[in-house]
Every structure is written in structure tokens, then in C-alpha cells.
Amino acid sequence: MSTINVPQLLTQLSLASGYAIESRSFAHYLNENDKLKYLRYEFHYPKMGTLPQVDLSLVNSEDDAIYLCGNSLCLMPRITRDVMNQQFDKWSQMGWFGHIAGNYPWTICDEEICEEIGSIVGAEASEIAMMNGLTVNIHALLTAFYKPTEQRHKILLESRAFSSTHYAIESQIRLKGFDAKTSMICLNPRVGEECLRIEDILDLIETEGDSIAVVFFSGIQYYTGQFFDIERITRAGQAQGCLVGWDLAHAFANVPLHLDLWNVDFACWCTYKYGCSGAGGLAGIYVNKRFEKMEGDRLVGWWGQKFGARFLMNNELDLSLGASGFRLSMPPMMLVMGVIGFLEVYKKTSIEEARKKSIVLTGYLQHLLTHRFTLNAGKISCNLITPTDPEQRGCQLSLKFNVDVSTIWLELTKRGVVCDKRFPNVIRVAPVHYYNNFMDVWRFAHVLKDVILGLEQNGQFDGI
């Protein structure tokens, strides 16, 4: 269980402040006492008037928007523009010499951030490589780690894995000469439930383990927001002789990770969500140092060559040790700068401090949605499908409605709420610990309640 008892903490703060938990004044009080409140000003935060589809007859154009969409794309750090402009200046002034001179020489700029990235995921710099996009990296890692045999050929994942991950695994199975229908185990939740139970995951690994080559789950499930027990699942898979990898797209910079401590075999992630690097930002991989001299067939390219041999052009392969040997091409320097922009902000805090705020921020949202702004009293009802235990989720809450969410989402958008819809009936909201505050959460809960009441009164909703 979480070390922070959010209901108890909110009650204590309510008594100390003299404000009711559901009041606007209490949200303001929480903002004033937020130790990380300064981070909001490190980001460009959109105004109501700058967003498309906002109805300016309903809101003040100068007010801050209610941006809760960091699980799709986090906001831009202010420093990112400066970091990128420095490289544009260098390119314009030096041309080719930008590869070897100035801040972040382009031939090594990806390597220079590996130590900081490693601190976020709990790994050594040599176990990290920043390269490609997430799906490409899934292919690169599975090409190396998925070595099916007639006896052990299956890959285990959750049933509602992100589509790109699902497709990549399917194609890897086919490329290795097997049939996804028999080699792909997609574990479903129990009937009537949305999240997987840890005991069901462990039971399946134990019963099917001798036929499973790779266990490949999401660290945090994109649809439900469930944070899987990475350590226990990794240990269980390895005990059965499986390799265990993780898709950390929704976990990176969202929750503390300890990949070395948990003895994870390999992992990958994107950085444009909680890594705030920009749409399509540079992705990362982790390869446990146990595999630093990994042999066998895998994808290779010249950027995986040892630096001293890379430019000899003798076509004699001499791969770098560890994760660096998995690199294929020179990373786009501007995508590296997007990551650096986030890291410059991240230096002002830590994942541990950010997580403390996140637990309270998301817990406060949960309280508002399930108490004063209850969503189950009328014709339109909503259930939280994200685990209520803070230790089993990140910052995201997934709200499942009994109606099609298209109209609800549109009405929220008109009022300056930026959130994510998953058809037919789920809205995902993610108050991000780096720039969101407690007033954002209060305003969202208030707007959502007003929207639902308005739709109920007008009968403007469709069932499913």
C-alpha cells in the first residue's frame, strides 16, 4: 500500500485550513502549499483562447486551459526552445563541425544523456540507449531476445496492449516462423473486471511457463492505468526460464522504476508522454548488463559500432557493449534536444518527489469524482476502472461511462478541457505532477459535473 494515505491527508489538511475538501478554497490552499508548484512555470501552459474547438462564450480566453492529456502528449518545457535554438545556431554557424564541437556534439549527444535517463529508470548509463521510436525499439529488442523453439515459442502480454505493441509482437512471431494464434497469449481480466489480478498473471506464468519464451507486459496499462508489479512478474517469469521485457511508455517519468533492482531483462519506452520531449520524441531502451556481450542474430547498424571503429569504414563489425550496441542510426539531434529540454526541468526535482505529489494530486481527483461530484446519481453514470490503490497506478484515471463519450468529450473540449477519449465509453485524464496543480483537478471535476447534468437535462447522449 502507499505510504501516503490520501483520504487521511486530505482530511487533516481540511481541518488545518478550515476549508471543506470539495471547496475551491481548499484547492487553492493545496496549490499554495505544493512544494513543486514552481515547476508549472517551467512549461508553456495553454490558455483557453489558444485551443481549437473551445467555445469562448463559455470560458474566459485568458484563463488557463484544463490540460489533463499528458498520457498522450505532455506540455512543452520553456527551455526546450532555447536548447533547440542553440543547435540551430550551431548548425548555421559551424555546419559539419557541429558533430564534434559546441554543446552536445551531435555524434555523442545521445550518449551524454544516458546517465540521467538511467537515474529515472533505475539503471546504469551503459544499460541505456536513446534511439528510434518505441515500436521500432520493440522490434529491435524482440529480434534479439525472442528466440522461439518448438517447445518454448509463446509471448505473454495483456489482452488490451496498445495496438502498436500488439502488432509488433504479432509480426515478430510470424517473422520467426510461428503462428500468432498459437504463440501469442493475451491475458484477459476476469469476467466483469477491467484490471488484471496479479495472482492470475503469476498463475498463468506458472502453468504455461515452460512454453513461454518472452513475457512482455506494459509497465502501466495505457487503457486502465493499472501499474503492474514489475518485480514480482519479472521474478516469476525468470523462474520459469522466460525472458521478461517491459513496455514502459506510460511508466517512464511517471512512477519510480528500479529496473536493475528488479533484474528486468530488457525494456523500452517513449519520451513524449511524461518525458515531455514533444510529439514523436526519441525513445529509449534498457538492456540489463547481464546481456552486455549478447551474441546471436539481431538488428545492427553503424551507430552500434564502437566509436573508435565507427568511422574506419572497414565493414568489420565491432559492436559496442551493452545497450549502445543496439543502436542503428545516428539519432536526430533535434529529437535528442527535446529530451534534454525535459531533463533540464527534471533536474529541479526527482522522480521520488514528483511521485509524492502525483499520489496526492490523483488521489484528490479521485476523491472529488467519487464524493461531492459523484457521477453515479443520474442517467449518465461513470465508474473508475483504474485501481484505487495509488501503488497500483500512476497519475492517470480512466473513467468508464454507461453512454458513448463522444458528446461528453466534445462538451468538455468546448470548455477548455484537454483529455483523451477511448471509444466507445472511456475518458482518460492524467494530472501530471510536473505542471498540473490542484486547481486544475478541481476545475475539471466541476466542469465534468456541469457537462453531465446539462446533457441529462437535455437528453443529449447516446447509449452504448
Q: Exposure of 151 by Cβ count < 10 A (0-12 exposed, 13-18 middle, 19+ buried)?
A: exposed
The predicted structure's pLDDT at residue 165:
97
Look at residues 44, 110, 104 and name the one whose alpha carbon lies nearest to residue 78.
44
Pick out the residues of the known binding site for pyridoxal 5'-phosphate.
Answer: 134-135, 218, 247, 250, 272, 302
At 296 the pLDDT is 86
280 and 79 in contact (C-beta within 8 Å)?
A: no
- What is the location of CATH 3.90.1150.10 in the chain? 6-64+350-456
| Ranges of CATH 3.40.640.10 domains, the chain | 82-347
Q: Is this structure's pTM higher than 0.95?
A: yes
Return the DSSP state at 47.
Answer: B
Position 1 scores a pLDDT of 41
Superfamily, domain 6-64+350-456? Aspartate Aminotransferase, domain 1 (3.90.1150.10)
Q: Which of 432, 427, 425 is nearest to 464 (CA)?
A: 425
Pick from 394, 450, 380: nearest CA to 417:
450
Distance from C-alpha of 369 to C-alpha of 60, rounded to nearest angstrom: 24
**Per-residue DSSP letters for 106-175?**
TTTTTGGGHHHHHHHHT--GGGEEE-S-HHHHHHHHHHHH----SSS-EEEEETT--HHHHHHHHHHHHH
pLDDT at 317: 93
Ranges under pLDDT 70 in the chain: 1-2, 372-377, 463-464
Say how far apart CA 289 and CA 267 lie, in whole Å. 12
Per-residue pLDDT, 378: 76
pLDDT at 155: 99
**What is 285-335 written as a DSSP string?**
EEE-GGGTT--SS----GGGB-HHHHTT------BPSGGGGG--SPPPHHH
Q: Which CATH number fits domain 82-347: 3.40.640.10, 3.40.47.10, 3.40.50.300, 3.40.1260.10?
A: 3.40.640.10
